[in-house]
Amino acid sequence: MLLNILLMAPQGGEGGSSIMGFLPFILIIVIMYFLMIRPQMRKQKERQKMVDALQKGDKIITTGGMHGKITGFTEDGKTVIVQIDDKVKVNIERSAVNVVKGK
């Protein structure tokens, strides 16, 4: 209803404000921010917290679909050492961890 009122307002010309012409575009941008951009930023922060909280012994699933258990970290802290079978260990980037299933 508010959008209809704004669209019916005089645009430009005599007596009309030029801001009223841009008001629908501004409104669309604000709505897009609250419905699309803000939730995505929140998801990204939650994912970063999850990646930063990785600990030895956590069971994980990578973005490639590999299941394994974290057995350690490299010195630089950017990669994790994941055991995927009895005698098989691989180095995986922290950012490749998709899900933490727990201990």
79-85 and 67-73: which strand pairing?
antiparallel
Q: Where residue 79 sits, what CATH number does that domain have?
A: 2.30.30
| 91 occurs within a structural domain | yes
pTM > 0.85? no
93 and 67 part of one domain: yes
Instruction: Report d(CA 3, CA 28) in Å as an integer.
Output: 10
| 12 occurs within a structural domain | no
64 and 32 part of one domain: no
Model pLDDT for residues 36-78, shown as the tens digit of each residue: 999 999 999 999 999 999 999 999 999 999 999 999 999 988 8
Given a cut of 80, is residue 4 above it in pLDDT?
A: no
Instruction: Report d(CA 89, CA 99) in Å as an integer.
Output: 18
Name the residue range of residue 77's domain.
Answer: 56-102
Considering its fold, how many domains does the chain have in total?
A: 2
- Mean predicted lDDT score pLDDT of the chain: 85
